Homo-oligomer: A and B are copies of this chain.
Amino acid sequence: MTIPYSCDTITSPVNPRVRQAAGLREADARRTAGLTLVDGRRELSRAAAAGVTIEEVFVASEHPPADLADWLADLAGRGTRLTPLAERPFAKIAFGSRNEGVVGVVRFAPLSLAQARFVADRPLLVIEGVEKPGNLGAILRTADATGLGVIVCDGRTDPANPAVIRASLGTVFTVPLATTIVAELLPWLRTNDRRVVAATPEGTTPWHASPLAGRTAILLGSEAHGISPRWRQAAAADEIDFTTVSLPMRGAADSLNLSVTAAVLAYEAIRQEEMTA
C-alpha cells in the first residue's frame, strides 16, 4: 500500500506551510491557532485514539514509514491532509534525534478548570512550578498509569508544548488535565471540597502517614522555590483545607526531581486506596 499524499513533495525548508508548522513550537502561535505539533508515531496514534483532530501529517518522503501506510490512509479518509516533505523541510519541524518519519499538526489546547472532567473521588496532582517540559511529560505518564488528573497552575507552562507532548508519550491527550492560575484554583478547590496536601521539605507528616486517597489535591511546587506563599495565606485564612507532607531527604542534595516527588505521592495514594479497598 502506498501513502495517499494530498500534494507533491515539498522540498524547500522555507515553504510557508513548513514555516507555519515549525512556528507552533512557540506558545503564542499555538494559542492563536489552537493547534500544536506532535512528533512521533506513538504520540500521534494516542492523539488519534483520544479523538483529537489531526489536521495534517507531514511525512518524511525519502524514508516513508511504510508500516504506517494503512494508518495514514485511514487518517486521510477522515480528512487529514498528508504532506510529503523532503529531508531539509522535514528536519525543520521534527525533533532532531528521534525522527520517526511523521510529524502531525493537531487541534489541541489545554482545557480550563471548568472544561476539564476529573474523577470526583480520586486525587489530583496540582503542579505549580514545572521548569522543564520533560518533567511535566513524566508527570503526565504517571497520571496516566495511576488514573489521576493533573492541574497545571503556574500560568506559564503550556501542556500543548510539543516537547511536553513528546515527553508524555502522548498521554497528554488522554489524562484529565486543566491549566489555571492559583487565584482561580483556590475557590475551585473549596467548591469541589478538595483537601490540599502539599509536599514541602518542611512538612511534618511523613508522606505515607497522611491520607492521600479520596478527594485530595496533591500540590507540588517548583524544585527551586517550593510552593508559592499564596497557599499558606489561603490556609491561614481558612480558605482551604491544607496539610503538608515531607519525603525523606537524607543526602547531599536538598530537593528531589519534581516528577519523582509526584510519582512517589501518586503511588502512595494508590497504595492507600488498595489497602482500604
Contacts and interface: CB of A to CB of B under 8 A. Distances in A.
A271 B138 CA distance: 23
A35 to B, nearest CB: 22
Interface string A236-253: 000000000001111111
Nearest to A260: B263
A143 B268 CA distance: 18
A234 interface: no
Given A138-B260, A260-B259, A260-B260, A253 B145 contact: yes
Contacts of A253: 46, 141, 144-145, 169-171
Contact of A142 (B144, B171, B174, B256): B256
A214 interface: no
A200 interface: no
B263 A145 contact: no
Copy number in the complex reads 2
A272 to B, nearest CB: 9
Interface string A134-151: 100010011111110000
A141 B256 contact: yes
Interface in A208-266: 208, 247-253, 255-257, 259-260, 263-264
25 contacts: A46-B253, A50-B252, A138-B257, A141-B256, A142-B256, A142-B260, A144-B250, A145-B247, A145-B248, A145-B250, A145-B253, A146-B248, A147-B248, A147-B250, A147-B251, A171-B251, A206-B271, A206-B274, A207-B267, A208-B271, A257-B263, A259-B260, A260-B260, A263-B263, A263-B264
**6 A-B pairs closest in CB distance:** A144-B251, A260-B263, A138-B257, A264-B267, A147-B250, A208-B271
Interface of A: 46, 49-50, 134, 138, 141-147, 169-171, 174-175, 206-208, 247-253, 255-257, 259-260, 263-264, 267-268, 270-271, 274
